Amino acid sequence: MHHRTASTIVLGLSALTLLVLPGCSPSAAPATTSGSDSTAQRPDAKGDAKRNAVPMASAQLRERLLDESDLGDGYTRKPERPSGGYDDVTVLGCPALKELGADAATGSGGGLDFPHRAKAAFTYTGNGEVTEELYSDAASKLSDGTGRIFDAMTGCPAYQVLADSTPIDITTQEVPAPRLGDERWSHLLAFSSEGADTVVKQTAIRDGSVLLIVSGSPALVDRHLDTALTKATATS
């Protein structure tokens, strides 16, 4: 077997990061404050229009992805990876996530089965990576599908994934999400494999018929989340 660090494996898994997935400590205790705030609603006049908005096509979503000019100096876009970077993926110790299938665990797209999607990933010379995913569908479908995935991942504080027989120990910690959009979810995933550790933050924001997921190094996720949401939900 080729030797791979935890960081390399995480990036190959797209962060388990669904849903990397796309850097803290594997032993961190679960947060006492929930990162999910799916009950929050906006009482503004645009609420009904947003909920009933026609989903955007994938081509439209691609135009709303962040690019190097949005991110600033030091960022380079990565070439798109073919889905399914691992031939054999097994989830151990988390029945709920295993039931969703290997695609959900590896972030290859099967976990979030929405028809309209776009994705971009960037490396940062200051050390780190950030991945943006955009999806569009009926608001209720985005809400149900995203909540199901995040509940499964955070419902198992510790589990293991075998990726082509390479064991990856994973712990999850739900963390508070910024009060953006109509619904939001956020968690940290700590990966440990072959003596190396990597932490990935993943934050999802649903705003009407658009779902934004930003994953990667925690500081980079926090830095670019607002800009990503503003661009993704622009009205013109």
Residue 170 lies inside a defined structural domain of this protein: yes
Residue 1 lies inside a defined structural domain of this protein: no
Q: How does pLDDT run across 92-119, given as a tens digit for each residue?
A: 998 888 877 655 554 444 457 788 999 9
Of 81 and 103, the structure prediction assigns the larger pLDDT to: 81
At residue 203, does pLDDT exceed 50?
A: yes
What pLDDT was estimated at residue 138?
A: 94
Residue 160 lies inside a defined structural domain of this protein: yes
Give the CATH number for residue 136. 3.40.1000.70
Query: Phi and psi for 117 in degrees, rounded to 5?
Result: -155, 160
Q: Which domain holds residue 155?
A: 6-232
Contacts of 45 (CB under 8 A, 6+ apart): none
What pLDDT was estimated at residue 103?
A: 52
Contact 173, 29 (CB under 8 A): yes
At residue 3, does pLDDT exceed 70?
A: no
Contact 144, 1 (CB under 8 A): no
Report the C-alpha dihedral over residues 226, 229, 232, 236, rounded to 10 degrees: -70
Cβ-in-10-Å burial (0-12, 13-18, 19+) of 147 comes to middle
% of the chain residues with pLDDT over 90:
44
Place 49 in a pLDDT band, splitting at 50, 70 and 90: low
Domain count, the chain: 1
Q: How does pLDDT run across 115-158, given as a tens digit for each residue?
A: 899 999 999 998 899 999 999 999 999 999 999 888 888 888 99
At residue 51, does pLDDT exceed 80?
A: no
At residue 65, does pLDDT exceed 80?
A: yes
